[in-house]
């Protein structure tokens, strides 16, 4: 087994701290079904990276990897099964953080396929590339989903980077291990933000408005301008949603990202302060009828 280095400990500690902080963020009761296996899957993938086997075969690496596959399967099943709104994201306007999640899950399954099919040390390189991609893509997925909390985001990405570098250091064929995933992730990133993004965002702009169960009557404790920046700046008196629909022409201005942060951040703050609040992550609470 590869020795666990000081860098591994630092990276692992940062990642664990970020995931622990994430686990303590308030959320809706049902969302724990989605959150718990998701956090576990990232943690187990990172452990598999640290505990790599040597030539002598069986090791914790294999068991941990198998548990990670179970965890990610539960995570995907929970969100697809219990949160029907999730499928609307796959209708065309897939957000980049969901693309990152799908890449992470597919790469994790790819490590399994490669391990079964190939045993020579040369072909094991593919298994390793897939392994590195799992951790990078999963960390990006979690960081962007949890996205509004800068400290969690920073710890998560820093921990992941340190772990990946620590795992790369003892490798002999660094170039291919770095180049191939970088090119692959680069292509995916280009598709996610370039011309493909325009295609995806156009479908978002043309879909009908979803009022997401918003009701002024539930929000009488706030002054109008706590929400209506349009009453004070010169953007106009239009409805928030129709105006922001039309503005959804980039990943950072898309209506779902903006409003998920806007609505859920306040609900999360209220929940943290121990007050009654609205839904945070549970899609159906806002998008259900
Ligand atoms: C908690 C945030 C929040 C507060 C506080 C708030 N609003 Fe709104 N308001 C919204 C949202 C979100 C919409 C879009 C709702 C929709 O279309 O489903 C909206 C829509 C509106 C609209 C447009 C309705 C339409 O479809 O034409 C008006 C007018 C409006 N609000 C007035 C007010 C006034 C006046 C106050 C203060 C008394 C106020 N709002 C307080 C969030 C808020
Ligand atoms: C007529 C158009 C229009 C209306 C109506 C409108 N907005 Fe905006 N909104 C904008 C524009 C343009 C920006 C980006 C430029 C800026 O920051 O001023 C923006 C920015 C935002 C941001 C991001 C701010 C930031 O600093 O990142 C949020 C959140 C937001 N709007 C929420 C709302 C809500 C909630 C409502 C209704 C209660 C609303 N907007 C009504 C045009 C509009
Ligand atoms: C400034 C803070 C704030 C913002 C912004 C905000 N909410 Fe709320 N929301 C609350 C609070 C507080 C409650 C709890 C009210 C209560 O039950 O007394 C609530 C309750 C709710 C509820 C639950 C109502 C119920 O019957 O349990 C829904 C749904 C909701 N909000 C949707 C939204 C949506 C959608 C947005 C964004 C467009 C939004 N909220 C933005 C503070 C906010
Ligand atoms: C706090 C309430 C709230 C929660 C929780 C919430 N959303 Fe939203 N969502 C909104 C609001 C508000 C909008 C903007 C309305 C719109 O796009 O018409 C939105 C927009 C969207 C859109 C874009 C719809 C469109 O075509 O314009 C999708 C897709 C979406 N949400 C999916 C989800 C998923 C998946 C979840 C759960 C992981 C979720 N939402 C949780 C409030 C919420």
pLDDT for 68 equals 96
User: From the CA of 2, how far away is ligand 4's center (Å)?
Assistant: 44
Task: Of 65-69, 87-91, 132-136, 209-213, give the lowest mean pLDDT range.
Answer: 87-91
Tokens of 194: 């370039």
Indicate whether 114 pLDDT > 70: no
Q: Of the bound ligands, which one is closest to the alpha carbon of residue 245?
A: 4
Q: Which of 213, 220, 239, 270 to mutate to test the pocket of ligand 1 (most atoms within 8 A of CB)?
A: 239
How many Cβ atoms sit within 10 Å of the Cβ of residue 31? 20
pLDDT for 51 equals 87
Position of tokens 């998560």? 156
Phi-psi region of 6 (alpha: psi -120 to 50; beta: other; left: phi over 0): alpha
| Residue pair 201/207 in contact by the 8 Å Cβ criterion | no
User: From the CA of 256, how far away is ligand 4's center (Å)?
Assistant: 5
pLDDT mean over 159-168:
90
pLDDT mean over 79-85:
93
pLDDT tens, residue by residue, 275-287: 999 999 999 999 9
Position of tokens 């609040």? 277
- Say how far apart CA 137 and CA 79 lie, in whole Å: 18
Q: Of the bound ligands, which one is closest to the alpha carbon of residue 270?
A: 3
User: From the CA of 236, how far away is ligand 1's center (Å)?
Assistant: 13
User: From the CA of 228, how far away is ligand 1's center (Å)?
Assistant: 7
pLDDT mean over 103-115:
86
Share of the chain above pLDDT 90, in %: 52
Closest residue to atom 2 of ligand 4, CA basis: 286
pLDDT band at residue 259, thresholds of 50, 70 and 90?
Answer: very high
pLDDT for 27 equals 92
CA angle, residues 150, 76, 33, in degrees to nearest 5:
70
Tokens of 269: 């703050």
pLDDT band at residue 183, thresholds of 50, 70 and 90?
Answer: confident
Q: Of the bound ligands, which one is closest to the alpha carbon of residue 228?
A: 2
pLDDT tens, residue by residue, 10-50: 999 999 999 998 888 899 999 999 999 999 999 999 999 88
User: Which tops the pLDDT comparison, 81 or 119?
Assistant: 81
Tokens of 74: 């539960």
Q: Would you say how long the chain is, in residues?
A: 289
How far lies 156's CA from each of 84, 112, 137, 198, in Å?
28, 25, 12, 29
């Amino acid at each position: 087994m590869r020795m666990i280095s000081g860098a591994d400990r630092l990276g692992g500690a940062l990642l664990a701290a970020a995931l622990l902080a994430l686990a303590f963020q308030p959320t809706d009761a049902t969302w724990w079904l989605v959150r718990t296996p998701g956090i576990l899957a990232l943690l187990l993938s990172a452990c598999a990276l640290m505990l790599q086997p040597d030539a002598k075969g069986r090791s914790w690496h294999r068991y941990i990897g198998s548990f990670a596959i179970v965890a990610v399967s539960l995570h995907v099943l929970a969100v697809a099964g219990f949160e029907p709104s999730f499928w609307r994201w796959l209708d065309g306007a897939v957000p980049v953080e969901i693309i990152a999640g799908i890449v992470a899950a597919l790469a994790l399954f790819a490590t399994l396929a490669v391990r079964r099919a190939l045993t020579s040390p040369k072909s094991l390189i593919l298994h390793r590339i897939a392994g590195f991609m799992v951790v990078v893509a999963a960390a990006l997925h979690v960081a962007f989903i949890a996205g509004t909390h800068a400290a969690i985001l920073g710890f998560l990405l820093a921990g992941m980077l340190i772990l990946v570098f620590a795992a790369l250091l003892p490798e002999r064929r660094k170039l291919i291990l770095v180049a191939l995933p970088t090119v692959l992730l680069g292509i995916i990133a280009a598709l996610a933000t370039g011309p493909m993004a325009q295609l995806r965002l156009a479908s978002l702009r043309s879909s009908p408005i979803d009022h997401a169960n918003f009701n002024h009557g539930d929000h009488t404790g706030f002054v109008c301008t706590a929400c209506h920046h349009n009453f004070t700046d010169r953007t106009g008196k239009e409805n928030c949603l129709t105006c922001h629909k039309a503005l959804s022409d980039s990943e950072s201005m898309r209506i779902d990202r903006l409003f998920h942060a806007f609505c859920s951040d306040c609900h999360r703050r209220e929940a943290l302060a121990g007050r009654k609040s609205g839904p945070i992550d549970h899609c159906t609470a806002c998008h259900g009828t």
